[in-house]
Amino acid sequence: MKIGNFEINNDSEIFIIAELSANHNGSLDVAINTIKAAKRTGANAIKLQTYTADTLTIDCDKDDFVVKSGSIWDGKTFYDLYKDAYTPWEWHEELFKVAKDEGLICFSSPFDKTAVDFLEDLNVPAYKIASFEITDIPLIEYVASMGKPVIISTGIAEIEDIELALEACHRMGNNDIALLKCTSSYPAPIDEANMVMVKDLAERYGVISGLSDHTMGSTAPVVATCFGAKIIEKHFILDKSIGGPDASFSMDEQEFTEMVKAVREAEKATGNVNYNLTDKQKKGKDFSRSLYVVEDIQDGEILTEKNIRSIRPGFGLHPRFYSEILGKKALIDLERGTPLSIKHFKK
């Protein structure tokens, strides 16, 4: 999978996405400065959301249209929530340009076909399907038909939902798919993170996998790294004091920078399955055990537990020969502190 100039595969660095979402709080200047701050954190990409209240829902105050899911948005209508949270479409072109100038990859989550068409005009390099849209098979088909990488969050998905979404992409001839483990709670409890799912998604479906995270802190991203995540997405805000629908579970610049650092260190610490030693590790062999003469031994004298021992350093004969050479005769005089060698005794 390649997004912009970033190649995402099992051997690549993790692709770290700063999710702008509603964290501009209605200000273009804040949105621009947030993108610049995302670059400073070490993120690889900034992601937008492309919708309006009218493309997501209808303006209706019937009970069905009032949020009551135990979230921070309870009591609002869907329409009012999305009216407050959306990123104006007329900002997109400038935000894409700012991201490019900063050296960040910029892409978006579309929420209907008109948003896809709009983003195509901006030559978006990839698409993200948000967790709540994983059941919108017509939307997924349309996104996949653009022939670009598709990243799908699985926050509300059961196995059937995931498989239907994958089938929708495959029908359109698009196999360039990543699945992100996501817990669609805001914020998400850490004990519901289930990071082992990152590994399972990759193995079960043969795709790139990763994490779209709503937990507090960096623990889940670091653990996801250890389970093979190749994409990590986290909500990013310039300053939590500006408020907004997503402020409470978003990371500010310092927090995001620390997360990026922790993820990069976890990547290095995870490493690969490799039983070969580096040159530096081989030097550690100096501190291993080996067989040494610990008392002066005369030519013809018997090797015993008293005059040879397994001790540090590691320049003598391997300790596995210890029992085998006890009782052998020395061929030459051996001074205390001599590393024992096969040539020193009769076989």
Regarding whether 203 and 147 lie in a shared domain, the answer is: yes
Shared domain for 232 and 304, answered yes or no, is no
pLDDT in tens, the chain (347 residues): 999 999 999 889 999 999 999 999 999 999 999 999 999 999 999 999 999 999 999 999 999 999 887 777 788 899 998 998 899 999 999 999 999 999 999 999 999 999 999 999 999 999 999 999 999 999 999 999 999 999 999 988 999 999 999 999 999 999 999 999 998 777 889 999 999 999 999 999 999 999 999 899 999 999 999 999 999 999 999 999 888 888 888 999 999 999 999 999 999 998 888 889 888 888 888 899 999 999 999 999 999 999 999 999 999 999 999 999 999 999 999 999 999 999 999 87
Helix axis angle, 137-144 relative to 159-171, nearest 10°?
40
Pair 209, 314 in one domain: no
Map tokens 């990543």 to a residue. Answer: 178
Residue 173 and residue 28 in one domain: yes
pLDDT score of 167:
98
Which CATH number goes with the domain that contains 98? Answer: 3.20.20.70
Pinpoint the alpha helices (H) of 172-297: 196-205, 219-226, 253-270, 279-283
Please indicate, yes or no, whether residues 253 and 306 belong to a single structural domain of this protein: no
Q: Which amino acid is located at 86 in the chain? A: Y
- Residue 257 is predicted with a pLDDT of 98
Residue 45 domain-assigned?
Answer: yes
pLDDT for the residue numbered 281? 86
Q: Does residue 71 fall inside a structural domain? A: no
For 81, the token pair is 């929530």
pLDDT at 272: 82
Domain that holds residue 331: 279-344
Number of domains in the chain: 2
**DSSP three-state, residue 221:** helix
According to the model, what pLDDT value does residue 94 have? Answer: 98
> How confident is the model at residue 244, as a pLDDT?
82
Residue 2 located in a structural domain: no
Domain contains 66: no
Residues 173 and 35 in one domain: yes
Same domain for 165 and 124: yes
Residue 156, domain member (yes or no): yes
What is the reported pLDDT for 274? 86
Of 224, 248, 270, which one is at a domain's C-terminal end? 270
206 and 324 inside one domain? no
Residues 116 and 203 in one domain: yes
Q: Do residues 197 and 247 share a domain?
A: yes
Contact 73, 57 (CB under 8 A): no
- pLDDT value at position 278? 86
Is residue 80, in this structure, part of any structural domain at all?
no
Q: Which of 270, 305, 329 is the last residue of a domain?
A: 270
Q: Is the peptide bond before 221 cis (omega within 30 degrees of 0)?
A: no
pLDDT score of 207 = 98
6 within domain boundaries: no
Q: Are residues 119 and 195 in the same domain?
A: yes
The answer to whether residue 123 is domain-embedded is yes
Given 216, 251, 270, the domain boundary residue is 270
User: Do 178 and 129 belong to one domain?
Assistant: yes
Q: What CA–CA distance (Å, rounded) separates 289 from 158?
A: 54
